[in-house]
Amino acid sequence: MLATATVSLAPLLITNAINYIQYRQVIRAEAAQQLSRLTLNLKRSLELFLSERRSALTFINNDRSFDELCSEAALARIIDAMNRSLAVGAFVDLGLIADSGEQLCYSGPYQLEGRNYADQAWFHEVARRGTYTSDVFLGFRELPHFVIASRHERPDGGFYILRATVDAEMLSDQVITAGLESSDDVFLVNRDGVLQTPSRRYGQVLKRIPLAVPVVSTGVEVAERRDERGRPVFLASAAIESSPFVLMMVKPVSETMGRWFTLRSELIGFSVISAALILGVILWGSALFVNNMREASLRRAALMHQVEYTNKLASIGRLAAGVAHEINNPLAIINEKAGLLHDLVGLDDGMPQRDKLLGLVDSILRSVDRCKTITHRLLGFARHMDVTSDTIDIGVLLKEVLGFLGKEAEYRNLDITLSVADDLPTLVSDRGQLQQVFLNILNNALAAVDDGGRVGIEAGRLDDDHIAVSIADDGVGIPTENLERIFEPFFTTKDGVGTGLGLSITYGIVNKLGGHIDVESEPGHGTRFTVVLPTTRHGEARWKE
């Protein structure tokens, strides 16, 4: 069963395991690719947003002279024109800053004219690069914002900077318009991992996230990580060109692998059902195979037992015949001499102790008769007796047998009952041998019961071709360990009385007649012998088959 189950289940489990891994990889790859496309689209949208504002600021700075820019009214008109020309609001304010860091002109909602930015990092970056986009910071206004600045060279070798301020909420608006699901988290961070836009999981702007900032690259990177709660998530990241911003998108794996979980359940269910069916068939087939082998082994064992028993009976029969012939010769001499002695003593009336001597001689003659009976049974057991056929009424035959036992039953006050079915057919068999069979069984029954005991005889039809005769007593019963040996020659439980040949001879006679004997016994509750006989010689042949 184990080998069959292994050979049957191993390919199924291996195939399902391979499918499990491949489907998982495919679905993860599809989820990562979809997340990558979404991140790439959002990256391009943000780059376009920043590029428009940088280009507009650079154009104004190069198109207008210092005198045209350095007035609050001029800057206000520029802000208004730009905010109307761009789809989304462009700038919050504009300022013109000298190379000393002092803001010379300013237009906006704050009082920032005259502020000096010489110590600000963004000022040094724009002075060095020419154009610069800062990350989000608070600055003098104490509100999250970032700046876009453009440097313009003066003929005298100096420079001035046109700086525009963009509210950080505009970046948030760009991220929010990505059309994400409720479980997704998209935000911008700078290269140090500080939030530039609010995050659903990691807090507000200017708070450091607990995740490591991925290596900055021009493309989109997608990796599987674990969040602060230990849950697996997909993390997509992309650097926004010409800016310090890094776009990050966090999506739970459970949200992207919904199809996989359904497919996994189906694969597991299919494997369990298939394995159960295979194991069921294996169990059923193995049980059927083993039962057939067991039945064949039992039939073979029974056949071998029958052959051994037949050989044993044949050997014992030959031994019994030899022993009987060897004993009969001295018994005949003893019987002859004892009879002669009895006659001589009986003729001499004046012989001393005549009566005692006659009694001893009679005891010898009785012992000789007993020995003759035993040797006769041995010879009967050993001889192959031909079966004669008579039409027999089993009820009449049983009454004849009971006639031999009537005196003993009356003397011991035994209750012997006979019940014969009305529809019992006659049978064709050997009358003398059947009488010997039932006489032997009844003798054993009478020996097993105490005085006043009961013996019941029932005869009825077993089927169309067989009748059954049951002889039951309420005697001492037969111990379980002796039941299998009661038909063996010379086996007896009658200490010093029985020869152990009665049931063995009975068993052989019944087999010759084409029947069989069943025995049921319980110590202390009696014994039942059931003799099954065929009704015809044709039935006998079928029974032997």
| pLDDT at site 509 | 84
Cβ–Cβ < 8 Å for 475, 527: yes
Residues 265 and 171 in one domain: no
The answer, yes or no, to whether residue 270 has pLDDT greater than 90, is no
Do 437 and 370 fall within a single domain? Answer: no
Q: Do both 390 and 354 map to the same domain?
A: no
Angstrom distance (rounded) from CA 531 to CA 469: 5
For residue 267, what pLDDT band results from cuts at 50, 70 and 90? confident
| Segment 120-148 mean pLDDT | 88
Whether 239 and 275 share a structural domain: no
Q: What is the mean pLDDT of the chain?
A: 83
Contact 506, 440 (CB under 8 A): yes
* Average pLDDT estimate for 464-475: 91
HSE, side-chain direction, 13 A CA sphere, residue 107: 17
What's the confidence (pLDDT) of residue 88? 58
Confidence of residue 537 (pLDDT cuts 50, 70, 90): low
Mean pLDDT of 13-19: 87
Give residue 424's Cα distance to chain centre: 56
Listed range (51-55, 169-173, 436-440, 531-535) with the worst mean pLDDT: 169-173
CATH number at residue 270: 1.10.287.130
Q: Note the pLDDT of residue 211.
A: 82
- pLDDT above 50 (res 60): yes
**pLDDT tens digit sequence for 496-523:** 455 455 677 788 888 888 899 999 988 8
Q: Do 226 and 293 belong together in one domain?
A: no
Whether 342 shows a pLDDT value over 50: the answer reads yes
196 and 335 together in one domain = no
Determine what percent of the chain is predicted with pLDDT higher than 90: 16
Q: Which residues contact 225 (CB under 8 A, 6 or more apart)?
A: 211, 232, 233, 235
Q: Is there a single domain that holds both residue 394 and residue 405?
A: yes
CA 544 to chain centre: 47
Q: Indicate whether 317 pLDDT > 90.
A: no
Residues 371 and 463 in one domain: no
Does residue 10 have a pLDDT over 50? Answer: yes
Query: Lowest-confidence range among 31-35, 361-365, 375-379?
Result: 375-379
Q: What sign does the CA torsion over 217, 219, 225, 229 have?
A: positive
Instruction: Compute the average pLDDT of residues 463-481.
Output: 88
Task: Give the residue-averaged pLDDT of 290-300.
Answer: 89
**43 and 171, same domain (yes or no):** yes
Alpha carbon distance 400, 436 (integer Å): 11
Range(s) of the domain holding residue 311: 260-384
Residue 539 has pLDDT above 50, yes or no: no
CATH code assigned at 32: 3.30.450.20
Check pLDDT > 50 for residue 261: yes
The per-residue pLDDT for range 385-421, each reduced to its tens digit, is: 555 678 889 888 898 888 778 778 888 898 999 999 9
pLDDT at 531: 94
**Tell me, what CATH number does 477's domain have?**
3.30.565.10
Helices (H), 64-188: 66-69, 72-85, 121-129, 168-176
Q: Does residue 545 surpass a pLDDT of 70?
A: no
pLDDT of 188 reads 92
Q: Examine the pLDDT at 489 and tell me if it is beyond 70.
A: no
Among the candidates 328, 360, 384, a domain finishes at 384
- Decide if pLDDT at 287 tops 70: yes
- Three-state SS string across 406-460, please? HHHHHHCCCEEEEEECCCCCCEEECHHHHHHHHHHHHHHHHHHCCCCCEEEEEEE
Question: Does residue 357 have a pLDDT over 60?
Answer: yes
Choose the weakest-confidence range: 113-127, 321-335, 420-434.
Answer: 321-335
Do 33 and 89 fall within a single domain? Answer: yes
Q: How many domains does the chain have?
A: 3
Residues 347 and 465 in one domain: no
Quick one: 292 and 212 in the same domain?
no
Q: Please give the Cα distance from 268 to 276 (Å, whole number).
A: 12
Whether residue 97 has pLDDT greater than 50: yes
What DSSP line would sit under 173-200, residue for residue? HHHHTT---TT-EEEEE-TTSBBSS-BT
pLDDT per position as a tens digit, 199-257:
888 889 999 988 877 776 778 988 888 877 778 888 899 999 989 999 998 888 877 77
Q: What is the pLDDT of residue 469?
A: 94
The residue from 256, 290, 318 where one domain ends is 256
Residue after which a domain boundary falls, among 256, 274, 294: 256
**Which residues, in sequence order, are bridge partners of residue 222?**
236
Model confidence at 543, pLDDT cuts 50, 70, 90, reads very low
Residues 32, 38: Cα–Cα separation, whole Å? 10
